[in-house]
A and B are shown apart, each in its own frame.
Chain A
Amino acid sequence: AQSVTQPDIHITVSEGASLELRCNYSYGATPYLFWYVQSPGQGLQLLLKYFSGDTLVQGIKGFEAEFKRSQSSFNLRKPSVHWSDAAEYFCAVGRSTGFQKLVFGTGTRLLVSP
């Protein structure tokens, strides 16, 4: 069965410092991979996605993620964190064919310290 693991429940980063949020997945087929951000009281906003091709994908708000098939990972990175990045981040996996549900990780709450 497919699953997504986000091992860090909370992460605190100083403003201006770099960020890496970890995501590992288990999926029997070729996966579609996603990162979403959820600000307090808000819905989910898509940061970036990986379908195929270049394993380093660029997203909105300066985020990027790298797909590593050998490690079953899709870690999210940002070189310099801004206070407005404080939010909950969810990694998700879906099947690459057809209309399929997403399986979400448990989320990582990012706190940004001044």
Chain B
Amino acid sequence: SAVISQKPSRDICQRGTSLTIQCQVDSQVTMMFWYRQQPGQSLTLIATANQGSEATYESGFVIDKFPISRPNLTFSTLTVSNMSPEDSSIYLCSVDGQDYGYTFGSGTRLTVV
């Protein structure tokens, strides 16, 4: 199965600033997925990133707040923009490993103060 390297693992940020999270996969994948896990909650999909096209955002998430890049088949970034304390969450990237199932990165624990 694919191995995902996600960084940073955690960060504490000031409100109003932005943070970019990176995910590097050890093999080429068609789709990458970005999830948010708010404190004590389950995972919610933010967007699906396909190489060479605009990301597809789920209801309640917008590109201006969560811009995503997907420059090639092994890498993607998610930016959390103009942060507020409500953005404090764990952010995870994921890939579809086909027969191996969906693999997740280790997550980025973001605290906004």
Chain A positions within 8 Å of B, measured between CB atoms, are 32, 34, 36, 41-46, 49, 51, 90, 92, 94, 99-102, 104-107
A104 to B102, CA, bound (A): 12
Known contacts A44-B92, A99-B31; is A104 also within 8 Å of B101 by CB? no
**Total interface residues in chain B, CB < 8 Å:** 25
State whether A90 touches B43 (Cβ < 8 A). Answer: yes
Q: Across the interface, which residues of B come within 8 angstroms of A36, CB to CB?
A: 104
Determine, out of B14-22, B71-79, B105-113, the stretch whose residues face the partner at the interface: B105-113
A-B contact count (CB 8 A): 50
Q: Which residue of A lies closest to B94 (CB)?
A: A102
State whether A106 touches B42 (Cβ < 8 A). Answer: yes
13 extra interchain contacts, Cβ-Cβ under 8 A, other than A49-B101, A99-B96, A101-B58?
Answer: A34-B101, A36-B104, A41-B109, A42-B106, A43-B92, A43-B104, A44-B92, A45-B104, A46-B100, A101-B48, A102-B33, A102-B94, A104-B44
